[in-house]
Structure 1
Amino acid sequence: MSLNATIAPARRPSLRWRPSTRFIWASILGAILVALPILALAWTALSPAAAEIWPHLAANVIPVALMNTVALLLGVGLLCCLTGVGTAWLVTQYEFPGRAAFEWLLVLPLAIPTYITAYIYVEFLGFQGPLQAAFRALTGYRSLRDYWFPDPRNLAGAIFVMGIVLYPYVYLSVRALFGLQSATIVESARTLGASRWPLFWRIGLPMARPALAAGLTLALLETLNDIGASEYLGVRSLTISIYTTWLNRNSLEGAAQIACVMLVMVIMLIAVEARLRGQRRFAISVRQPRAVGRRPLKGRKALSAGLACALPVLLGAALPIGFLASEVLTRGLLFKIDAALLGNLGNAMLLSGIAAALVVALGLGIVAARRHGRESWLPALTRIASLGYALPGTVLALGLLVPLAGFDNALANTMRAWFGVNPGLVLIGSGAALVIAYVVRFLAIAISGIESGLSRVSPRLDDAARALGANANEVVRRVHWPLARPAIAAAALLVFVDCLKELPATLLLRPLNLDTLATIVYGHASRGVFEDGALAALLIVLAGLYPAIILARAGGTRA
């Protein structure tokens, strides 16, 4: 039996079942929302006005941006693999002091957005930062002319920052597979004389390759989505090129062409992940589900394993959180909370809450349609609706701008012609466009979480409810919702926090008079006074800690 088939799929309800029409329309709406920005982006990039811009972009902009992006992806991917796979192997295969705590502490860097980590490390390693200040106090040096100190504002710094934040995607996925290894296989290999390294290279790593490919793809997609860290650290990536071409050079067509190049990279990443995930299958005995016993480590080996797990936690979570808390306390920012900050916090929570509610409602309809529907095209619509997470925020914002602006203009023209009233920009000017972007980008999280919850609900319960006269709507409301409510609540929480942290789409689609916590932090960092936004950054981090702990205890369900 293959790994993908270790758990038999639950039987579908009776053929007499048909999903409610509203659930089918939810699947259609989800697929349209995801496909619309992609089609609009291609239309804009292929417009006649864009033909004159492409030669300049191809000669001067795209080569440098593409080279930097590829280097960034390779570096982040390598660092994520080394850190995520190494720590996952240690906590699942060995017993050493602190192992149980490290098993969930290693996930905490996911609570901190990459752009906040980049701002913190620039401040921490800067000339006025605590590290250089302590170094000068110990050595007696006075200026940078007297000594050399690493500068994080370069490609290597961006690789380090993103790798230390995004490795938990790999860690969560691989840890789950390492924990499912059959004790019989591992013990047989040990009986045949396999030592630690052959056991890892010839059994552990090949069996975990599908999970490694999935987790690494998520980390690389997040790397492509980043805009704050890349810009602040001076890396001219494709994302930054889209942003500057659109806003600074006022060229929507040129930005669309660069976005199409990035979409090609996204498609290539997904295709490579699917190929790596689908090439090999491994047998696991169903009769021997016994877990692999952890080998105890003592002395230097136990100390080395503990340090190897502690270092990513220290660099990726403890140092950033400690730095933010220190800045908030030493500057007395808790006593400087004003109406503006509370208003920005309210904006962020309102937009994120509305988006989370819409995402969960739409995701529940999509999953219900797929669960009960017999139409052959429903699974395809679900897959399309789940692709939004693969769209970087800048690409998504650029793709949504054209259709949403077209809708606003058409509505304004109609209202003026019929009623003599100009409603203005209804979607783009009210924040509705931002909510739509959140829904498109994070719909996959809700679909995945709700499917995971409903997979534990036996279809026989559906048949029993149907036999008692319940229709499809009543089954979802009175059977599915109560039983899958914990999974639905977890999905809603994850979407809410991801919306709070989202920066690229928020920067590009928010109205001029609306700020969120993410844009406040970005604005302070852009002006060189990141410490003034430490409280807003700390609020974002604290909001992400609880979902990160949920992910750690769930064993990587989201990945």
Structure 2
Amino acid sequence: MLCILLALPLLGVFGAWLVPDANSLALLRHQASTILPGYALTSLLLAVGVGAGVALLGGATAAAVTLFEFPGRRLLTWALLLPLAMPAYVLAYASTDFLQYSGPLQTGLRGLTGAEGPLWPDVRSLPGAVLLFTLALYPYVYLLTRGALLERGLHLMEAARLLGAGLAQRILTVALPLARPALAAGVALALMETLADYGVGSYFGLATFTTGIYKAWLSMDDRIAAAQLATLLMAVVAVLLWVEQRAQSRLRYASSRGAVRGREARPVRLCGHRAMLAVVLCATPVVLGFVVPVAVLLHGVWREARFGEFGLPWARFLGWAWTSLQLATLSALAAVTLAMLIGFVLRSRPRGVARPLARLVSLGYAVPGAVIAVGLLGPVGWVQAAAPGSAFAGWVTAGITGSIGGLLYAYLVRFSAVALQSVEAGYARIPQSFDDTARTLGASSWRLFAGVHAPLLTRSALAAALLVFVDVMKELPATLVLRPFDSDTLAVVAYQLARDERLAEAALPSIAIVVVGLIPVLLLSRAMRER
């Protein structure tokens, strides 16, 4: 029942196609002849550009730090993860403030050169969005590709060298085939994040599927059009999810005990211009995707504190931060509780109906927040139309629209899969013999869970809570639509201030989001070093 409850918003989106009236068909034909080609073309160009960008940048940096030795390699190995802490919409605000015509870079260059007019095209464009998404999302490809190359890459590269293969041949015939499944999985994850984004698309004025869903729902007040656009986006996401899962299933390679080991399998040492090229390759995305944006945000905070008309709104900022912390904490606790319960059922009854239902719940993380918002608000409209003025319709409306309960429900639909994945990974490390022994000693199901599973799942549960906490802090689309009145979060406030061109004021909530996002990145880098 819990799985069905979490899957209801996803199923509710498809209800838009169950209305076989003439108005619905006419609306679909109107969309196909007017807005759909533009949404599809923009989304396609954005996806192609981002996919190529993250594949090249993530794959190249992963190969560089894994297969080669050069100055600064140890530092850059974990520093390449830092852009994960920078949400794409925050990177867009900082980059616009730094690169726009009135920004400090163009102003300084015009002062030095005496040039007039803009020195480069406006960053708020489709190519600018491709570049920003590439800088924000390449760590997905970097992480998976590096893991694939670490498993067998060094050993097989050394074996190829002993067989007489040159460096270029080793990269083309050994490293690239090893990295291909990881590249596909990482690119699919990056594309799902790109298609789910609303902040960058709205701020840059791009006509993507996600911005079209919000426009149809909020501006045109047309829930049928919004739901139909959402189903098309869900179909694209389902294909990407299938590609990612298929690629992940191929991330296993045969190993033998006689493989090359120890000193013979060390990374290739680079010298001279090759070493310098590797340093520049790995340092550039870190500088552009994290160091410069953080410096711009900190400068905005300092500028607003020193030159702002009324100074920084510290009291209001604390209120926004408190709301974000409350929502993130409640969502993390609820998601971990649900994940522990579902994980225990999957452990106890692996062949039951719970497993396919749990996989259905896992789709929630791949679905954009815009689709989940439509899936929640669409059924509310149907209930109001079916029973206008009834107590049941009022209860449903009050419970979902503009309430903390509805917002937490959306977060659970969106992020329960994150917690469930972490808990299932923890269960995979618990031998089945522990359960058998406890059952033999007469332990009940509750005693088995509380006395055996829960203590062994503590680290997995904490990791799940941390991931959900950070994801909720950064979530923008669902929060923007479903939040109660006068309950803005840091993400919503940063978006609204940036939309109003108050970029200096948007710096404070943006830097708070980045600081929170650094927590899992630092823990991940520590785990990589320990491994």
Matched, 1:29 2:2: yes
Matched, 1:477 2:453: no
The equivalent residue for 2:93 is: 119
Following the alignment from structure 2 to structure 1, what is the Cα–Cα distance between the partners of residues 430 and 183? 29
Matched, 1:192 2:163: yes
The Cα shift of 1:545 comes to: 0.5
Amino acid at match of 1:78: A
Structure with the higher fraction of residues in helix conformation: 2
Q: CA contact under 8 A between 1:75 and 1:159: conserved in structure 2?
A: yes
Superposition pairs of residues 300-339 of structure 1, within 5 angstroms = 300-332=273-305, 336-339=312-315
Amino acid at match of 1:460: S
Q: CA contact under 8 A between 2:158 and 2:260: conserved in structure 1?
A: no
Q: CA contact under 8 A between 2:376 and 2:400: conserved in structure 1?
A: no
Q: CA contact under 8 A between 1:30 and 1:362: conserved in structure 2?
A: no
The Cα shift of 1:460 comes to: 2.3
Cα distance, 1:396–1:497 mapped onto 2, change above 3 Å? same
SS at match of 2:207: coil
Matched, 1:102 2:76: yes
Superposition pairs of residues 62-141 of structure 1, within 5 angstroms = 62-141=36-115
The equivalent residue for 1:158 is: 129
Q: CA contact under 8 A between 2:329 and 2:469: conserved in structure 1?
A: yes
Q: CA contact under 8 A between 2:154 and 2:267: conserved in structure 1?
A: no
Cα distance, 1:288–1:479 mapped onto 2, change above 3 Å? farther
The Cα shift of 1:555 comes to: 4.5
The Cα shift of 1:98 comes to: 1.2
Following the alignment from structure 1 to structure 2, what is the Cα–Cα distance between the partners of residues 359 and 422? 24
Residue by residue, what CA displacement relative to the aligned partner does 1:400-445 show, whole Å, maximum 9, x if unpaired? 112356679999966589xxx9897123232211111111111121
The equivalent residue for 2:349 is: 373
SS at match of 2:457: helix
Picking from 382, 389, 392, the partner of 2:368 is 392
The range that moved more, 336-345 or 172-181, is 336-345
Q: CA contact under 8 A between 2:182 and 2:251: conserved in structure 1?
A: no
Cα distance, 1:235–1:423 mapped onto 2, change above 3 Å? closer
The equivalent residue for 1:243 is: 214
Residue by residue, what CA displacement relative to the aligned partner does 1:33-87 show, whole Å, maximum 9, x if unpaired? 12x1232111124423422211211011010110000110010011101111111
The equivalent residue for 2:238 is: 267
The Cα shift of 1:279 comes to: 7.0
Cα distance, 1:251–1:298 mapped onto 2, change above 3 Å? same
The Cα shift of 1:447 comes to: 1.3
The Cα shift of 1:264 comes to: 1.6
The Cα shift of 1:225 comes to: 0.7
Cα distance, 1:104–1:247 mapped onto 2, change above 3 Å? same
Residue by residue, what CA displacement relative to the aligned partner does 1:470-498 show, whole Å, maximum 9, x if unpaired? 22222222222222212211111111011
Following the alignment from structure 1 to structure 2, what is the Cα–Cα distance between the partners of residues 471 and 490? 27
How many residues align? The count is 523
Amino acid at match of 1:43: G
The range that moved more, 536-545 or 233-242, is 233-242
Picking from 480, 486, 511, the partner of 1:513 is 486
Q: TM-score, normalised by structure 1?
A: 0.88
The Cα shift of 1:31 comes to: 4.4
The Cα shift of 1:376 comes to: 3.8
Amino acid at match of 1:186: M
Matched, 1:171 2:142: yes
Superposition pairs of residues 258-297 of structure 1, within 5 angstroms = 258-276=229-247, 282-286=253-257, 288=259, 290=261, 292-297=265-270
The Cα shift of 1:184 comes to: 4.4
Following the alignment from structure 1 to structure 2, what is the Cα–Cα distance between the partners of residues 381 and 509? 26
Following the alignment from structure 2 to structure 1, what is the Cα–Cα distance between the partners of residues 493 and 179? 40
Residue by residue, what CA displacement relative to the aligned partner does 1:129-165 show, whole Å, maximum 9, x if unpaired? 1110110121123x41xx5323211110000011100
Amino acid at match of 2:276: L
Following the alignment from structure 1 to structure 2, what is the Cα–Cα distance between the partners of residues 112 and 412? 45
Picking from 148, 154, 168, the partner of 2:119 is 148
Following the alignment from structure 2 to structure 1, what is the Cα–Cα distance between the partners of residues 353 and 392? 41
Following the alignment from structure 1 to structure 2, what is the Cα–Cα distance between the partners of residues 280 and 105? 24
Q: CA contact under 8 A between 1:72 and 1:155: conserved in structure 2?
A: yes
The gaps in structure 2 that reach 5 residues or longer are none
Following the alignment from structure 2 to structure 1, what is the Cα–Cα distance between the partners of residues 421 and 200? 28
The equivalent residue for 1:437 is: 410
Q: CA contact under 8 A between 1:405 and 1:428: conserved in structure 2?
A: no
Amino acid at match of 2:348: H
Q: CA contact under 8 A between 1:209 and 1:277: conserved in structure 2?
A: no
Matched, 1:347 2:347: no
Q: CA contact under 8 A between 1:327 and 1:531: conserved in structure 2?
A: yes
Q: CA contact under 8 A between 1:175 and 1:555: conserved in structure 2?
A: no
The equivalent residue for 1:503 is: 476
Q: CA contact under 8 A between 1:409 and 1:425: conserved in structure 2?
A: no
Compare relative contact order (CA 8 Å, sep 6+) and give the higher one, 1 or 2.
Answer: 1
Following the alignment from structure 1 to structure 2, what is the Cα–Cα distance between the partners of residues 551 and 332? 34
Cα distance, 1:32–1:416 mapped onto 2, change above 3 Å? closer
The Cα shift of 1:236 comes to: 1.0
Q: Percent identity?
A: 38
The Cα shift of 1:373 comes to: 1.1
Following the alignment from structure 2 to structure 1, what is the Cα–Cα distance between the partners of residues 131 and 378? 36
The equivalent residue for 1:20 is: none
The Cα shift of 1:554 comes to: 3.6
Following the alignment from structure 1 to structure 2, what is the Cα–Cα distance between the partners of residues 509 and 354? 16
Following the alignment from structure 2 to structure 1, what is the Cα–Cα distance between the partners of residues 240 and 320? 36
Q: CA contact under 8 A between 1:387 and 1:444: conserved in structure 2?
A: yes
Following the alignment from structure 1 to structure 2, what is the Cα–Cα distance between the partners of residues 423 and 398? 15
Amino acid at match of 2:83: P
SS at match of 1:515: coil
Amino acid at match of 1:388: G
Amino acid at match of 2:489: T
Cα distance, 1:322–1:416 mapped onto 2, change above 3 Å? closer
Cα distance, 1:301–1:528 mapped onto 2, change above 3 Å? same
Following the alignment from structure 1 to structure 2, what is the Cα–Cα distance between the partners of residues 336 and 311? 32
The range that moved more, 402-411 or 267-276, is 402-411
Cα distance, 1:118–1:440 mapped onto 2, change above 3 Å? same
The equivalent residue for 2:197 is: 226
The Cα shift of 1:340 comes to: 2.2
Matched, 1:360 2:336: yes
Amino acid at match of 2:55: C
Q: CA RMSD in A?
A: 2.6
